[in-house]
Amino acid sequence: MESPHFSDFRKEMDKWDTYLENEEKENELRNLINSNGLVMFFQKNDSVFGCPEEGRIVFAKMKSEEGMDDANFMTLNLTSDEPSRYVMQNKDLDDIKVIDLEDVIKKLIKNKKKKKS
C-alpha cells in the first residue's frame, strides 16, 4: 500500500503499515502451524507443505528403509489460500526439499504479498 508522498512522515507511516501487515500474516501462519501440530516443512515445486510428527517419522523411514514403496503421509499445503490436505507418496520424495520454519514464514509472506498486488 503506497500513499501519495506528501511528506517523510507519510513514508514512515507506510512502512509501519507494511510492518503491521507482515506481523499479522506471520501470526496467522504460526497459529495455523501450531494448531495443526506441524513440525516438518518442505517445498515441492512451487508449493510449501507442513506435516505433523507422524509424517516426519514416515518420511524418514521412506528415505532410509527399503520396501516402503507403498508408504505415504499426510501433509498440509500451506501455499494455497485455504490450506488443503495432500498425501505425499514415495514417488514424491525426489521432488521434496526440506526447509526451515523461518524460511517457510518468509516464503509464504512473500507469496501473499505477490498475490495481493
Shortest CA distance to 75 belongs to which of 91, 95, 59, 97?
59
Backbone angles phi, psi at 66, to 5 degrees: -80, 160
- In tens, the pLDDT along 80-105 reads 888 899 999 999 999 999 999 999 99
> Beta-carbon neighbour count of residue 108 at 10 Å?
20
Q: Is 55 exposed, middle or buried (0-12, 13-18, 19+ CB in 10 A)?
A: buried
pLDDT-derived band at 21, boundaries 50, 70, 90 = confident
> What percentage of residues in the chain have a pLDDT greater than 90?
61
E strands, the chain, in order: 40-44, 47-51, 72-77, 84-89, 96-99
Domain spans, the chain: 37-116
- In tens, the pLDDT along 1-14 reads 555 556 788 888 88
Three-class SS state of 48: strand
Backbone angles phi, psi at 81, to 5 degrees: -60, -40
Query: Distances from the Cα of 47 to the Cαs of 29, 52, 59, 115, in angstroms?
Result: 15, 17, 17, 14
